Amino acid sequence: AMSKSAVKISSDLLSNPLCEQEPSFLEMVTAFDTAMKRMDSFNQEKISIIQAITISGNIL
């Protein structure tokens, strides 16, 4: 849930009019957005692995 919130925040920042006015701010927010999306993707992958392990009953 936390990574989803971070993705939402970064997306909201990208739509901020300041991004159009300040290229350096846009660059920073774009990097932040990319990082948050990667974090969310990684977290989703972890959740899928944990669910697969739980369903199969295997323990690492």
Q: And the tokens for 59?
A: 């323990």
Predicted confidence band at 35 (pLDDT cuts at 50, 70, 90)? very high
Task: With a cut of 90, say whether residue 4 has pLDDT above it.
Answer: no
Model's pTM, two decimal places?
0.76
Other Cβ atoms less than 10 A from the Cβ of 43: the count is: 15
Instruction: Provide the domain limits for residue 15.
Output: 2-58
Residue 15: enclosing H or E segment and its boundaries? none
Nearest by Cα to 10 from 45, 47, 2 = 2
Q: What is residue 59's predicted lDDT score, i.e. its pLDDT? A: 61
Number of domain units in the chain:
1
Q: What is residue 58's predicted lDDT score, i.e. its pLDDT? A: 65
Nearest by Cα to 3 from 38, 48, 31 = 38
